[in-house]
Amino acid sequence: MKVSATIKNGIIEIICLLYILLFVYAAVSKLLDFENFEVQLGQSPLLSAFAGWVSWGVPIVEILIALTLLIPRYRLVGLFAAFSLMIMFTTYIIIILNYSSSIPCSCGGILENLDWTEHLVFNILFVLLAFTGIMLLLFNPKYVGSKNQYNRTFRTVSITLLSSIAVVVLLFVLSEDIIHHRNNFIRRFPHHPVTKINELDLKHPSFYIAGIEKNKVYLGNYEAPLHVIVIDIGLQTKKSYVIRLSKSNLPFRSVQVRVQPPYFYLMDGTVPCIFRGNLTDWKASLWMYDKVYFVKGEPINKESFAIRSVSSKNHENVLGTITINDVIKVRLAPQLLEKQIDGVFDTDGNLIYNEQLKKVLYTYYYRNEYLVCDDSLNLVHRGHTVDKISRAQIKVTTIHSKNQSKLSAPPIIVNKRTATFGNYLFVQAGLMGRYETEEMWDKSSIIDVYDFLKKTYLFSFYVPNLLNQKMTDVRVVEDVFVALYDYSIVTYKIRTNAYQPRESKIVDAP
């Protein structure tokens, strides 16, 4: 039995009215809370790279479609546009649920209280409504031109369906490529990637992390340089030790301890000297003395040390190694650090060693670059952080009377601190990215995670301040993130599919 024209027109009117209400309400909600909507899109696993124009484009398109549905003459065009847009939204949700590394919060508006599965069902219902409206309109006597109308309708609907899906898939692929390889300073925050394990009150400040292994964290103290605290990774037990040196009458000024089991090292690049001892008795003998001054140092293995020194030729920063076997050998690699302004402040950065992959990593403070070298300081490659500052934003003044250079203005710090485990590099960010809120920056520190072998950015996460104090040091072992504060140490569990430390080619430390 054929449906009367009155019933058809009534159904079409209802469908159009439902779409008008949906799109107008959704568009107005987005525009009234535009900043939040833009931030949500910026954190989307699919559209992060295109959040700028998509955040404006979606509400504008929704309003335009609503206007076309109001005018009977353009309702067919409006229903096709509504059908296409809902197919895009539906495809977006399917990719989110099945192919995304993280599932973000649902956007606000009319669907604010729906989870993603309910959101998907809602969208499918509206897709069917649009399809029904199209079929009723096309087979209304006003629009039927010939017996081939059915075939033309089927082709048009199929093309609309496939092209809408293709657009979203293409945006997803392009966004993934841009975020991971050509990032335009948009961070990706999976939901709850870290959860707090435990917290321990250290009672006193001035601690730093001297080393870490699977079950222990070693803390040194700037004010009491011979004292070391060993804490289990669960932060349940704490033991204190005092280092005993074979030679203690040296002019120490900048003592630090590094632990690389089964050894520990006490170093002072201003003397210069390095002591080495065994963790079983905390006794250290002089290992290197008066061979090369250095500012930073990290043990590579029981026979070699990575250092950052100052070249005697041009007085610029230079990376190097100290190897101690039968004789002490110092090898400098002046080609690694690239001068931009003065070769000193502009090349300042963090020096760390990756025990699992035997790589030396150096991350600049004031530019978006890190170096990956083998344990002989041969350059493997250079990688970039998500920040866009490729040239150090610093001002250097030379005091000729004292033959000194100083920073004449506060520098813009791009990368504050670093840690590494497996093929991952963790960087405490210094700059706020796009679609991030100042409120979160005031309450947290941001950690960016990279696969330094593939030179790709993976994701970021927030580490909350503790009693209004930001982190002072960080380390990572397997899936445990250790954050040090002035008076406390906190451990977090990293929980995200984007981080798979057990897949790293981990080897035992020598």
Q: Give 83-100 as a 3 state SS string.
A: HHHHHHHHHHHHHHHHHC
Tell me what the mean pLDDT of segment 463-488 comes to. 94
How far is it, in rounded angstroms, from Cα 478 to Cα 202? 24
- pLDDT value for 112: 60
HSE, side-chain direction, 13 A CA sphere, residue 97: 14
CATH topology of domain 194-503: Neuraminidase (2.120.10)
Helices (H), 353-427: none
- pLDDT value for 43: 62
Res. 195: pLDDT tops 80: yes
Report the phi/psi class of residue 282: left, alpha or beta, with left for phi > 0 and alpha for psi in -120 to 50: left
What is the CB neighbour count within 10 angstroms for residue 222?
Answer: 12
Render pLDDT for 231-287 as a digit per residue (tens, 0 to 9). Answer: 999 999 999 999 999 999 999 999 999 999 999 999 999 999 999 999 999 999 999
Domain ranges of the chain: 5-181, 194-503
How far is it, in rounded angstroms, from Cα 14 to Cα 130? 11
How far is it, in rounded angstroms, from Cα 485 to Cα 445? 11
- pLDDT value for 67: 94
Greater confidence, 139 or 218?
218
Give the residue among 267, 242, 271, 245 at the shortest CA–CA distance from 255.
Answer: 267
Render pLDDT for 327-360 as a digit per residue (tens, 0 to 9). Answer: 999 999 999 999 999 999 999 999 999 999 999 9
Instruction: State whether residue 378 is helix, strand or coil.
Output: coil
Contacts of 288 (CB under 8 A, 6+ apart): 272, 273, 274, 305, 322, 324, 328
- pLDDT value for 253: 95
Give the DSSP letter string of 198-220: EEEE-SSS-EEEEEE-SSEEEEE
What is the CB neighbour count within 10 angstroms for residue 240?
Answer: 11
Q: Which amino acid is at 305?
A: F
